[in-house]
Each structure stands twice: as structure tokens, then as C-alpha cells.
Amino acid sequence: MKKIKTHFDPQFRAGKKRSGLQLMETFFQFNALDVSKERLSNIMNYAVKRNSCIREDPAEVFQFHQSMRLLIRAGYLVMLKDRKWTVDTQPEKISPWVLGLLSEKEYRNPLLVFKKAFREYTLKEFDYFMSGIIYFSMGVYENLPEKNIVMPYIHTVKMLDAAHLILQRKREKKTAEPN
């Protein structure tokens, strides 16, 4: 009798390779920016609370975990291509409401967010962070995460903002180009 192995890694590359931008678009087709940030925040809150677990359906939390892994990998691919997604309006002051967690420099060039994040942490460390907060948010445990999980969390939220900004600028650029 043959052993059948079940692989839980999503097969996003079935058939053809996809660019980082296509993977980001796929992420935001299924996950709204505000909902993703709120869900990530809830997972993080439950991960650091003792004697509490998240009330969401575990399947939804696992699906969110997989899609966040996809977004982080997409950001890594976009960073490797090293294109600029800058804003032309240099002299204008940008409203703090628009910036979110991004600095003004990161807002003007969102690629800096990914460069900084992957300079400090590897893909494997981001996977470990995501797996850790999911693990600790799903059940009641005596121990808290052993590593500092605040900085990877901040980088992940910034990556969400930067990815959304890159896609928004790509759409604006596409509509501004004459046919």
C-alpha cells in the first residue's frame, strides 16, 4: 500500500511562475487591508495574553496564516526586483492619517519597508514569527513566546501597508498611461 503524503503548503505556483505583484494582488483579492490589519492585531493580542485563546474559527486563522506567508514572500520577490514605487509630490506634506505606520520616506518609496524588514529578518524568521503567534493565539499556554515578537509584528503591519500602496500606485499608473 502506498503512503500518501499530504502537503499543507499552498501550491501557488501550479502551472506558471507568478511575480510578487501578482501574489500581492491575489492576497488583496481575498483580504481587505483593514480587516487583515485588525485580524493580525487580534492574533497578536491573544498570542501575548495568558490564559486566553482567540475565538475565531481555526480554519480561518490557518487560512489567514497561509495568506500572510504569501504576502511576505511576495514582498520579498518585489524587493528583489528593486523597482521604485515613489510619489512625485516631493514638496507636499503628507497627512499622518495617510501614512499609517509608514514614515514619510517609506510612504514615498514603499520598497524601503521590505528592504528594511528583510535586512533585519529572513523569510524563515518571519515564518517562525507567524507560526508562533498563531500557535500562541489558538490555545491557553503557560509560556509566552521566547523571542521578541513586537518588531516582526511592526514590520508585518508595515508590509501590509506598503504592499497595498504599491498596488494602488500600480493601478494609478495604469490608468494614467494613454492607450
Q: Does 93 reside within a domain?
A: no
Q: Does some domain include residue 155?
A: yes
104 located within any domain: yes
Structural domain includes residue 67 = yes
Rounded CA gap, 106 and 94, in Å? Answer: 12
Domain of residue 153 covers 20-80+98-174
Region of 68 (left: φ > 0; alpha: ψ -120 to 50; beta: rest) is alpha
The answer to the question of residue 42 being in a domain is yes
Does residue 53 form part of some domain? yes
Q: Which residue ranges in the chain fall short of pLDDT 70?
A: 1-17, 82-98, 140, 142-147, 178-179
Q: Find out whether 163 and 24 touch, Cβ atoms under 8 Å.
A: yes
Q: What pTM did the predictor assign?
A: 0.81
CA distance 177 to 96: 29
- Predicted local distance difference test score (pLDDT) of residue 57: 87
Q: How many domains does the chain have?
A: 1
* Dist. CA 100–CA 67, nearest whole Å: 21
- 1 occurs within a structural domain: no
Q: Which residue has the cell 487560512?
A: 63
Looking up cell 506634506 gives 93
The Cα–Cα gap between 110 and 99 comes to 11
Give tens-digit pLDDT for 79-96.
Answer: 888 666 555 555 566 665
Within-domain flag for 86: no
